[in-house]
Amino acid sequence: MAAKKKVAKKVVKKAAKKVVKKAAKKVSRSKVVVVTDEVIGERAYEIYLGRVEKGVPGSAEGDWLEAERELRS
């Protein structure tokens, strides 16, 4: 019985290593984007320009929050 447990433990450990290795590869390939206040401000300005062009009412705070929501999702 102890031998079966050892074998089972090795199998589980090996499978876990594969899963971790696969996940690490995905993470290393993924793009990391840093969202700074400057980037949010630029996007908020773009939103503002589009809003004003269409004649839609709004506020700077609303534009900022929308930009932040877009960039962080």
What lies within 8 Å, CB to CB, of 33 at 6+ separation is 71
What pLDDT score does 47 carry?
97
Residue 1 binned pLDDT confidence (cut-offs 50, 70, 90): low
Task: List the structure tokens of 18.
Answer: 């594969």
Q: What is the pTM of this model?
A: 0.56
Task: List the structure tokens of 68.
Answer: 């932040």
Task: List the structure tokens of 20.
Answer: 């971790």
pLDDT tens for each residue of 18-73: 766 776 666 566 677 789 999 999 999 999 999 999 999 999 999 999 999 999 98
What pLDDT score does 34 carry?
85
For range 9-23, the mean pLDDT: 66
